[in-house]
């Protein structure tokens, strides 16, 4: 990886959800199934270590980009 690519990677990580793990993602998905994707308060309740504002921000980006998950 070039230094420019590494710089871009670090910049994107800072903009993204670097505190979210795969476990958080899976918990988020299960909570969305359980409560519905718009019930941020209850989804956040299921998320250990993530507050309601973070879950709401994550949910917004997820809703915009979820179709990319199947593209890989």
* CA separation, residue 68 to residues 8, 29, 32, 63 (Å): 20, 15, 18, 11
CA dist., res. 62 & res. 38, Å (int): 12
Q: What per-residue confidence (pLDDT) applies to 4?
A: 81
Specify the pLDDT at position 15. Answer: 65
Domains parsed from the chain with CATH numbers:
18-71 (1.10.10.60)
What's the farthest any 2 CA atoms get from each other in the chain?
A: 43
- The predicted structure's pLDDT at residue 11: 62
Mean pLDDT by 10 residues, the chain (72 residues): 74 71 93 96 95 94 82 52
* pLDDT at site 47: 94
Angle between helices 52-65 and 22-35 (to 10 degrees): 90
Identify the pLDDT of residue 34: 97
């Amino acid at each position: 990886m070039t230094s420019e690519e590494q710089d871009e990677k670090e910049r994107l990580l800072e903009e993204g959800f670097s505190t979210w793990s795969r476990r958080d993602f899976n918990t988020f998905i299960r909570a969305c199934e359980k409560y519905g994707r718009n019930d941020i308060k209850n989804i956040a309740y299921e998320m250990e270590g993530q507050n309601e504002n973070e879950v709401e921000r994550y949910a917004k980006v997820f809703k915009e980009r979820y179709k990319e998950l199947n593209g890989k």
